[in-house]
Structure 1
Amino acid sequence: MEKPHFRAALLHPRYWLTWLLFGLWYLVAQLPYRWQLSIGRVLGRAMLHLAPSRRLIAERNLALCFPEWSAAERESLLRRNFESNGIALMETGMAWFRSSAWLRQRFTIEGLEHLQDPAARGQGVVMLAMHFTTLEIGAQFMSLSHPVDGMYRPHKNAVYDYMQRKGRERHGEDSEVFQRKDVRGMLRALKRGRAVWYAPDQDYGIKQGVFAPLFGQQAATVTGTSRFARVGRALVVPYTVRRLEDGSGYLVKVYPPIGEIPSGDELRDAMLVNQFVESRIRELPEQYMWVHRRFKTRPPGEAGIYDGVRKRKKKRRRDRR
């Protein structure tokens, strides 16, 4: 996919507000790290009251996944989780606007040999990511540590799309970007021995997936992890990014390959992925993205989890110029 290029159409008056907001975002990203953490927590507390639909989605997810917890325990987790979501907004600015040297000072990494060893053998790697709130800055940490190709979904706002691409690709000169639907491109990269970022822990429907257990629920789970590993002759190597509680930075942990994938059974592989994802979430539940409708696709005959939650209206996409 071509690198993002600036074009005159991005200066159209309809984008001026977007440019202004990006300018403010850039300035905030230059503040001291701990100040940004504090600002993020305040934003998160505001979101808890200003985004009732997202709050309701998170509440239902937590009730579903942690039924053994008391209501008070889940409410405490909900507050901390929204604070984490607010911090994630600050971290996106850090990832897109701060220098590589500044970012390198903020993280340590464990298990990098699980990526380096396959690369030395010319074997591809499916980098199994998860939707923690540190996802954006964590991807930058990985690109600063090892060449990683990524999946990309265009944004409907042309300026945001341009800035997002620029921000995500600025630290990984040796990395490639694929449209999310470009399966062939991803497979070619895996066969060339590349590491490709892939996050299978959201509900993309059942058309390209199976129902597999997650927190005691039958969750629609994409089978792409299994197919990419099989067809791309690749290892499945998970990683996580933990925001440290003392405000000192982040711990990036690369895990050993999940050797059982591909097993030849897509349901079994999906179960293995979900087991791994659930274990990591239980270790750090306050930093997971509970505001997503992870269980929106239900098995036949089962009631919807998010009934009554207002859905965001989809806007018509303007033609890009």
Structure 2
Amino acid sequence: MDRPHFRAHFLHPRFWGLWLALGLFWLVAQLPYAWLLRLGRWLGALTYRLAGSRRRIARRNLELCFPELSADERERLLRENFASMGIAFFEMAISWWWPRRRLARLAHVEGLEHLQRAQAEGRGVILMALHFTTLEIGAALLGQRQTIDGMYREHDNPVFDYVQRCGRERHNADATAIEREDIRAMLKVLRAGRAIWYAPDQDYGRKQSIFVPLFGIPAATVTATTKFARLGKALVMPFIQTRLADGSGYRLAVHPPLEDFPGESEEADCLRINRWVEQAVRRQPEQYLWAHRRFKSRPDGEPGLY
């Protein structure tokens, strides 16, 4: 996909309100990091009160995935999760607009040598990430250290799409933005020995998915990770970013490539991926995107869970 370009029609009066909002957002993003964390927690508390449908989805997911917790424990986790989502709003602004040096001070990177070794060997890498609330800033911080291509879905508003792409792609001077449905382009970059950010942990429907357990619940799990790894001759490296509790920034952990992947079957691979997802989420459940209806697709004959 070509680099984003400014278009004259972006100055049309119908976009003035958005430009004003983005300008104010840019100004707020220049505040100290600690202040933005506090603002994010406040925004999360407000969202908890106002976003009833998302709150109900997240609460139901926590009931399904953490039945061993008491109702009070799940409620505390739910409120912390909304605080994390509020912080993520400002992390997006930080990753788009902070000067590179200021942003880089927030990164504590582990395991970068795995990506560098694969690059030296000319091997493509599927950087297997998860939908944590920190995904935007995690991708930006890693992109400052290593070129990472990304899957991309065009935003409906052309001005917001332009600003979003400029903010994301500034960290990767030679990165490629690939349309999410453009499988041919994804395989091409993998075979060229590049790394691509990819998250297989959401429910994309029954098509191209199989049901394997996640937190003990049959979950529609995409088989694309196996297909991409096999057809792209690529390694699969788990990647997790964590917002550090002491306010010092983020730990970015690139793990060694999965051994013997793809395995004996797509079902075995999906089960292996879901086990990794569960382990990663249990380590930092308050930072996971629980507002997504992860179990909306059900096997034949099973009732809905939401």
TM-score band, normalised by shorter chain:
over 0.9
Deviation at residue 260 of structure 1 after TM alignment: 2.9
Per the alignment, residue 291 of structure 1 pairs with 291
Query: Number of residues paired by the alignment?
Result: 306
Runs of 4+ in 1 over 3 A off after TM superposition: none
Runs of 5+ consecutive residues of structure 2 not aligned to the other structure = none
> Are 2:305 and 1:305 aligned?
yes
Correspondence for 1:32: 32
1:86 counterpart = 2:92: no
Alignment of 1:45-56 (within 5 A): 45-56=45-56
2:245 equivalent in structure 1:
245
**CA offsets 1:73-102 (integer angstroms, 9 cap, x no match):** 000000000000000000000000111111
Amino acid at match of 1:284: Q
Matched letter for residue 95 of structure 2: A
TM-score, normalising length: structure 1: 0.94
Matches within 5 A, 1:58-97: 58-97=58-97
Of 255-264 and 137-146, more deviation after overlay is shown by 255-264
Distance 1:229 1:275, change over 3 A: same
Cα deviations across residues 222-265 of structure 1 (Å, max 9, x unaligned)? 11110110000000001111000011111101111111321141
Q: Distance in 2 between matches of 1:17 and 1:302?
A: 46
Work out the CA distance in 2 between the residues paired with 1:40 and 1:148. 27
CA RMSD, Structure 1 to Structure 2 (Å): 0.7
Indicate yes or no: 2:4 matched with 1:4.
yes
Q: Distance in 2 between matches of 1:144 and 1:213?
A: 36
Which deviates the most, 13-22 or 36-45? 13-22
1:259-270 aligned at under 5 Å gives the runs 259-270=259-270
Task: Map 1:105-120 to 2 at 5 A.
Answer: 105-120=105-120
Shift of 1:113: 1.0
In structure 1, the residue matched to 2:175 is 175
For 2:52 and 2:219, the matched residues in 1 are separated by 24
Give distance in 1, aligned partners of 2:76 and 2:260: 37
Which range moved further: 255-264 or 143-152? 255-264
Give the Cα–Cα distance (whole angstroms) in 2 for the partners of residues 20 and 260 of structure 1.
Answer: 52
Provide the rounded CA distance (Å) in 2 between the counterparts of 1:71 and 1:174.
48
What is the CA–CA distance in structure 2 between the aligned matches of 1:143 and 1:23, rounded to whole Å?
25
Offset at residue 31 of structure 1 (A) = 0.4
Whole-Å separation in 2 of the counterparts to 1:161 and 1:293: 25
Q: Deviations over 1:5-29 (max 9, x none)?
A: 0101111222111111111111111
Deviations 1:117-167 (A, max 9, x none): 111000000000100000000000111111111000011111111111111
Task: Structure 1: state its 5+ residue gaps.
Answer: 307-321
2:226 aligned with 1:226: yes
Shift in CA distance, 173/30, structure 1 to aligned 2, threshold 3 Å? same
Q: Displacement of 1:290 after TM fit?
A: 0.3
- Give the structure 2 partner of residue 204 of structure 1: 204
Sequence identity percentage: 56
Counterpart CA distance in 1 for 2:214 and 2:89 is: 27
